[in-house]
Amino acid sequence: MAKIGFIGTGIMGEPMAANLQKAGHQLFLSEHYGKASEALVAAGAVALANPQQVAQEAEFIIVMVPDTPQVDDVLFRADGIAAGLSPNKVVIDMSSISPTATKAFAAKINATGAQYLDAPVSGGEVGAKAGTLSIMVGGEPQTFERALPLFQSMGKNITLVGGNGDGQTAKVANQIIVALNIQAVAEALLFASKNGADPAKVREALMGGFASSKILEVHGERMIKGTFDPGFRINLHQKDLNLALAGAKELGINLPNTAGTQQVFSTCVGLGGGNWDHSALIKGLEHMANFSIRDK
């Protein structure tokens, strides 16, 4: 049994933490943002006042918060994780944030004698609950091996990509692929429906061919049924594409399709859909076409 600090128990973080509990690990939670999860506390987690106290109690400290500024805050605030570290403790950031910032955060944590892993995930709320997340890890191999049993409680496809920052780079690449595939499915279903075909039947036909994909299977069905309760919110996917586009600018490369998909997400946000599931990207295309595939 490991002593694990877990900071960030939202849509993704709470089921991830619950799976660690089910594996027999002791959890320590921070109440610096608000009350700790009642379900996790009822199952044995210990609620502490701030991230510093969590780091003092735990061997591994996992961070799962929305964006780069929040990771910076929980790590380096006056009563943050860094203030409670001692040599050989392991900080694992499972958020999806800037690869550039991650390298700077890792250098500061590693300088304390602790070790740092960036380990963002893919698989959404469904994968978090099922313990089947894909986990992309950046850090030293020996630190990865120490943390591997924890990752195995939360995910199935676990890959050490490279050094610090490489896990976040892989996640940004993942989000580019997912976003562009969502847009491809949305455009195809919009085209088919506007041309008079039944989009559900078109999807069924495409599922048997080379166009078949998890996005067409899961998000295509969401688009047809109009079920856009979030598994992964548009505003979070926008954040990830902003990381991709900012990184592309730093690298001097062009990502035209990523930029185009970001514009459609922005249309959705303008319609009040920042908290829609990212499959609702089709609603941005429908708005521009003045046509809905669900109104036939």
Positions annotated as catalytic residues are 171
> Who's near 250: CB < 8 A, 6+ residues apart?
100
> Who's near 290: CB < 8 A, 6+ residues apart?
none
Question: What are the tokens at 69?
Answer: 């500024």
DSSP three-state, residue 16: helix
| Among the listed residues 163, 180, 189, the one whose alpha carbon sits nearest the alpha carbon of residue 240 | 180
Alpha-carbon distance of 199 to 196, in angstroms, equals 9
Angle between helices 281-289 and 166-194 (to 10 degrees): 40
Question: What are the tokens at 280?
Answer: 């609702």
| Among the listed residues 141, 82, 100, 98, the one whose alpha carbon sits nearest the alpha carbon of residue 117 | 141
DSSP three-state, residue 211: coil
Q: Residue 273, Cα to own-chain centre: how many angstroms?
A: 19
Residue 173's Cβ-side half-sphere holds a number of Cα atoms within 13 Å equal to 8
Residue 83's alpha-carbon distances to 54, 57, 164, 263, in angstroms, are 10, 12, 21, 41
Three-state helix/strand/coil letters over 75-115: HHCCCCHHHHCCCCCEEEECCCCCHHHHHHHHHHHHCCCCE
| Among the listed residues 16, 274, 273, the one whose alpha carbon sits nearest the alpha carbon of residue 125 | 16
